[in-house]
Structure 1
């Protein structure tokens, strides 16, 4: 059975947009709109000032590296693939290579994009691009001064089990590991 995609045009009408708050990381705006139901409304949007970048380094034995850190907004500890924010004007590939070095001390011979994500499309424009890094050379990590990171190396199959058990819950990490499994990387 095949499904047909229907009309994908924008049913929202924006009458005005006002910045409510802005800093180096986010901008919050409020739009006065006419909704798809043809009623007046307000839509608030959080715009992220950086593109999220994720990297799954994979060595010749099928191992990868996870970074553990306290996530302030969630008030919990999180194990994740290597991630960072790509400022406007920086190439995502350059950011990925920089984050790989900073967080894990790794240098990659090959960096391949394999996924793009919308992270919370109901209230933010937060998007991510994820890379697979191979041909790795190990060195010393150089985390930013505001980061307190733990680093661990383990087989992708074990990371997959952690995702299934809910021990890894970061959206970018979960999506990346599930897609790698579906693509037959392990």
Structure 2
């Protein structure tokens, strides 16, 4: 993320003195920054760089589309809302439409941006752009070569049970279920 004038003026701003690249992967990179703290002392910050991602709350027939896939970092299968990383130069809305169809086989005729949020601001710059749609038509699943998942449409009660069972435990899907529940109860987000 680029620094803006507002953050530089913040009393807790940490000036970067040195930045060392440590790892460059296909999706993320890792760097270690030496920073000057507000009290004049120095410290190091390990920072994960990530291109950003999108996620979609997609509702069809009063059910939310979810995908189940194995997550190596957790060593277990997870149920999550459709999501994926931004490709270089890709606009978040276009990525959301692409990921939704690739993973679920549904195409959104319209989509609404709900919120963009940090996933782990203590060490990563990743931002997820969360979208909503209930305006869907059948398309085609186009999974990436290394992607293995199943898609299902679940009720709100099923989603809450999946949370209880630990099948849903990632932040974006927990947020999605909470937002969906609020919309179900109040009619809006």
**TM-score strictly above 0.5:** yes
**Scaled by the length of structure 2, what TM-score is found?**
0.85
Contact kept in structure 1, 2:77 and 2:167, CA below 8 Å: no
Greater per-residue strand proportion: 1
- Scaled by the length of structure 1, the TM-score of the pair is 0.87
Q: Secondary structure at the residue paired with 1:73?
A: coil
Spell out the pairing of 1:4-83 with structure 2 (5 A cutoff): 8-48=10-50, 50-59=51-60, 61-83=61-83
User: Contact 2:106–2:137 (CA<8 Å) still a contact in 1?
Assistant: yes
Count of residue pairs brought into register by the alignment: 178
- Counterparts of residues 89-108 of structure 1 (less than 5 Å): 89-108=89-108
- CA apart distance, 1:64: 1.4
Q: Report what 1:118 is aligned to.
A: 118
Q: Retained in 1: the 8 A contact 2:15–2:35?
A: yes
Q: Secondary structure at the match of 2:66?
A: strand
Q: For 1:28 and 1:35, how far apart are their aligned partners in 2?
A: 21
The answer to whether residue 125 in structure 2 is matched with residue 148 in structure 1 is: no
For structure 2, the residue ranges without an aligned partner over 5 or more in a row are 1-8
- Indicate the RMSD between aligned Cα atoms, in angstroms: 2.0
User: Unpaired segments of 5 or more residues in structure 1?
Assistant: 1-6
Q: 2: CA distance between counterparts of 1:111 and 1:56?
A: 10
Partner of residue 85, structure 2:
85
* Conservation of the 8 A alpha-carbon contact between 1:55 and 1:131: yes
Greater mean alpha carbon deviation, residues 79-88 or residues 155-164: 155-164
